[in-house]
């Protein structure tokens, strides 16, 4: 077996062509596998609690009531004939805020919100989210956490 190595270095010989093709196919395959892996890694379903959940009849909430749904991280409040659903996820870095005498306090970095979720003390820069409420045919109220509202987005109860 004699190979002209000087020629191999300079030209696209048959040997170099086959080698180049092989490595190209290998690289393409590797890129394809990488793409498939990225798609596989991307979650198609979420395993958390559903974003819509029932909070019971409006009559369960007397005027001035405040009830926490800790699994859903939602606080339901009633002022007069208005019912509101406030997110308990801090707008700073996502810790769960706790109801306090002045409203809601975040245990992680000390952010404070008033009773309707308006920020009163940093480091948070924004008010707590409110969620949309709707009436189900059964007469129960439903909170939809994908329907994000601003402060005082009350649902009026007759």
Partner 1 sequence: MSVQTTEPKAGPPDPKPGIGAWGKLSRAIYRQAPEVFDNLRQLPYNLYKSIYRTTAFPKTERERSEAFFNSFLLHIQPAKIEKHALRFNYTFGLGLISFYLFLLLTVSGILLMFFYVPSVEQAYNRMLDLRSSVSYGMILRGMHFWSANCMIGAVFFHMCRVFYTGAYKPPREFNWVIGVLLFVLTLVLGFTGYLLPWDQLAFWAITVGANIAGKADYVSDHLAMIPGVPNMHMGVMMKNALLGGDTVGQEALIRFYVLHVALLPSILFFLIVIHFWRIRKDGGISSPKESPE
Q: Which residues bind partner 1 (CB under 8 A)?
A: 3, 5, 8-10, 16, 19-20, 23, 36-37, 39-42, 44-45
* Beta carbon of residue 2, minimum distance to partner 1 (angstroms, whole number): 10
* Beta carbon of residue 16, minimum distance to partner 1 (angstroms, whole number): 5
* Rama region for 125: left / alpha / beta (φ>0; ψ in -120 to 50; rest): alpha
* Beta carbon of residue 5, minimum distance to partner 1 (angstroms, whole number): 4
Identity of the residue, 6 or 63, whose beta carbon is nearer to partner 1 in the bound complex? 6
Identity of the residue, 39 or 158, whose beta carbon is nearer to partner 1 in the bound complex? 39
What beta strand segments (E) does the chain contain?
52-56, 66-69, 74-79, 82-87, 98-100, 103-105, 112-113, 119-121, 130-135, 141-149, 155-156
């Amino acid at each position: 077996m004699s190979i002209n190595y000087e020629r191999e270095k300079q030209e696209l010989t048959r040997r170099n062509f086959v080698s180049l093709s092989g490595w190209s196919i290998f690289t393409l395959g590797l890129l394809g596998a990488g793409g498939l892996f990225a798609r596989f890694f991307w979650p198609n379903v979420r395993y958390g609690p559903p974003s819509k959940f029932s909070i019971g009849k409006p009559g369960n909430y007397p005027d001035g009531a405040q009830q926490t749904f800790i699994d859903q991280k939602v606080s339901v409040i009633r002022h007069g004939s208005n019912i509101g659903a406030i997110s308990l996820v801090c707008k700073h870095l996502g810790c769960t805020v706790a109801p306090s005498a002045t409203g809601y306090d975040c245990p992680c970095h000390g952010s404070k919100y008033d009773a309707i979720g308006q920020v009163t003390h940093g480091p948070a820069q924004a008010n707590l989210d409110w969620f949309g409420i709707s009436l189900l045919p059964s007469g129960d109220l439903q909170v939809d956490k994908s329907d994000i509202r601003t402060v005082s987005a009350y649902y009026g109860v007759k």
